[in-house]
Chain A
Amino acid sequence: EVQLLESGGGLVQPGGSLRLSCAASGFTFSSYAMRWVRQAPGKGLEWVSAISGSGDSTYYADSVKGRFTISRDNSKNTLYLQMNSLRAEDTAVYYCAKAIGRITIFGVVIMEGYGMDVWGQGTTVTVSS
């Protein structure tokens, strides 16, 4: 069974740091791009970050660029989100999600990852003094 399990959430003071983890199982982890998506209390979904299957390419929302770092350890089937300089507005449930696949044309990758077909249960981050 394909599964994602997040951990590492908790209460942290403004300006503090936290590292989220997402343990993957049931699929060839290194073959898929991964994403982090968050949802503030009572709000909609916000895309946070993405990483290619190899880990060579990373992307961020403007709201977290320079503060958050996405990474992965394919030997451990684990995705990470290092969050620094946390703000009250980073308070949210954080989900990791697996991309559906990649799109290639004549062997050239034109889209490293698209859509999100498997989601974790989420981990809650609260930034408050």
Chain B
Amino acid sequence: DIQMTQSPSTLSASVGDRVTITCRASQSISSWLAWYQQKPGKAPKLLIYKASSLESGVPSRFSGSGSGTEFTLTISSLQPDDFATYYCQQYSSYPETFGQGTKVEIK
């Protein structure tokens, strides 16, 4: 199975900060990676697919990059609505797997 490792596990930041979350795959997954945002008690929301494609309706301050084994999710200017937990997910092969999550907290 492909292991997905996110860092950091928790991130403290202020409104307006530029935030970067890293996701590493245990083997190459090409660009078959998605990013999700989840708020407490809610279902996850798709932000990015195919490593860098922005889902319709998602603000342009979110961006994704990377290929192979290393990927990043960047929030260019953190907004109050962005405090949440973020997960990467590989869909290169079954079983699909998620990273352990990165919680973005208010500093």
How many residues on B have C-beta within 8 angstroms of the other chain's C-beta atoms? 24
> Interface readout for A90-101 with B: 1 if CB under 8 Å, 0 if not?
000001000010
Residue B89, interface by CB 8 Å = yes
Contact of A114 among B32, B38, B95, B99 (CB under 8 A): B32
Given known A119-B43, A120-B43, contact A50–B34 (CB-CB < 8 A): no
Contact of B44 among A62, A114, A119 (CB under 8 A): A119
**Other CB < 8 Å A-B pairs besides A44-B99, A59-B95, 9 of them?**
A37-B44, A45-B87, A47-B95, A60-B95, A114-B91, A115-B46, A115-B49, A119-B44, A120-B43
The reply to whether B94 and A50 contact each other, CB–CB distance below 8 Å, is yes
What is the size category of the interface that chain A forms with chain B?
Answer: 20 to 34
Residue A1, interface by CB 8 Å = no
Residue A73, interface by CB 8 Å = no
Residue A46, interface by CB 8 Å = yes
Give Cα A117–Cα B59 distance, bound, in whole angstroms. 15
Give Cα A111–Cα B93 distance, bound, in whole angstroms. 9
> Interface readout for A37-57 with B: 1 if CB under 8 Å, 0 if not?
100000011110010000000
> Interface readout for B25-52 with A: 1 if CB under 8 Å, 0 if not?
0000000101010100001111001100
Offer 27 A-B interface pairs, CB within 8 angstroms, sorted by A: A35-B96, A44-B85, A44-B100, A44-B101, A45-B98, A45-B101, A47-B89, A47-B97, A59-B94, A59-B95, A95-B44, A100-B46, A113-B91, A114-B32, A114-B34, A114-B91, A115-B34, A116-B34, A116-B36, A116-B44, A116-B89, A117-B46, A117-B49, A117-B55, A119-B43, A119-B44, A120-B43
